[in-house]
Amino acid sequence: MRLLEFQAKRIFAKHGIPLPKSVLITSPADLVELRLPAVLKAQVPVGGRGKAGGIRVVEQVEEAAATVRELFKSEIKGHSVQAILAEEKTEVIREIYLALLFDKHANRPMVMASAAGGVDIEQVARQNPEQIVEKPIDPFIGLQPYTIRYLARAMGIADLAGFGAILRQLYAMLQAYDATLVEINPLAETPGGLMALDAKVILDDKAASRHPDLFASLRKEQDELDRKELSPAEQLAKERDITYVLLDGDIGLIADGAGTGMLTLDLIQDAGGRPANFCEMGGLADAEVMCQSIEVVLANPEVRALLITLIGGLTRMDEMADGIVHYVKQNDASVPMVIRMCGTQEEVGKATLRKVGVDTFDDLAEAVRSVVALAEAK
């Protein structure tokens, strides 16, 4: 779960990280609490807001009111603006990038820092990779003083105590909330000391059971601010917590992994078809998830044919077949299905499907050609 900036900064404040004074604006009436000059920041769950016009500096009351009205009518990368974080304008001497994240390759936390703060770290990595400093953290001994000293020296930070306090709190947040990323960009050097001008926090969805109240409150808050009208399929996917992205084609797609799904999307387009969606169940899906995924995809009335592509690594093909059979028996099979199945227990799964008249393909390209032909014939 990616937190909105004001949600992330609320957690920062609990951990004592220095922040600009701010107020959350959800309607023009909240402007009475605004202190000028201020920075108005659209609260949407995407990066690059500044380049997209979602961050504005205002000096006067009339300018602030007009900018707030304009932002509330705008969309930032497909997200309508329903909340604005207004912060006091801060005098900035220098900007630094600082993040704690979980390195999946090394299977341990790490610190990433750069003296080139205030811009996309991906851009720095492409153009000036030597400006990025990375230091792994041994989870058994935690963040050590020598790591803090090394990073402060590498970033040219004189306020070692202030920098160390912020870095230790970021590490504490990474652990306490099961976060995969805790980022400040920029961490600003100001006349009053170091200050986090932005905040990005991503929580591990798989840890939701460890923090049920936190996840529930954060999701509720985000849902109340996200008034985008969902299609029936998107609404059903949201209710069932299934990964689903609506597209504009007529071929439904279900995959048991993101990589397989992305490959299949490309193959469908190469074969002249138009995908209606991207839907992936994850590597540990069971029969119920399979059945629910079909219900989600076929809730889109534009779908003319459905392709289910399965590679049984962690997913068992006999369970996937049980889910498909359950759907077929319970629903009108007016939309033809094409199934590509291989991997764990595939022979059992194929036999189960044959009993209800559902054939399977071994070759993915052949399955794609078949589903494209079926969609064109309808």
Write out the catalytic residue numbers. Answer: 97, 183
Residue 58: closest CA among 44, 69, 47: 69
Q: What is the largest CA-CA distance in the chain?
A: 75
Pairwise CA distance, residues 158 & 193, whole Å: 10
Instruction: Calculate ∠ Cα 97-100-102, nearest 5°.
Output: 135
Decide if 39 contacts 86 (C-beta within 8 A). yes
Q: Is the peptide bond before 28 cis (omega within 30 degrees of 0)?
A: no
Cβ(154)–Cβ(74) below 8 Å: no
- What DSSP assignment string belongs to 244-274? EEE-SSSEEEEESSHHHHHHHHHHHHHTT--
CA–CA gap between residue 310 and residue 287 (Å, rounded): 13
Q: What is the dihedral of CA 15, 20, 26, 29, to 10 degrees?
A: 130
Amino acid at 320: M
Who's near 334: CB < 8 A, 6+ residues apart?
none
Distances from the Cα of 326 to the Cαs of 114, 149, 289, 300, 308, in angstroms? 53, 60, 11, 20, 15
Q: Are residues 285 and 260 in contact, defined by beta-carbon separation less than 8 angstroms?
A: no
Query: What count of other Cβ atoms lies within 10 Å of the Cβ of residue 69?
Result: 12
Rounded CA gap, 264 and 273, in Å?
11
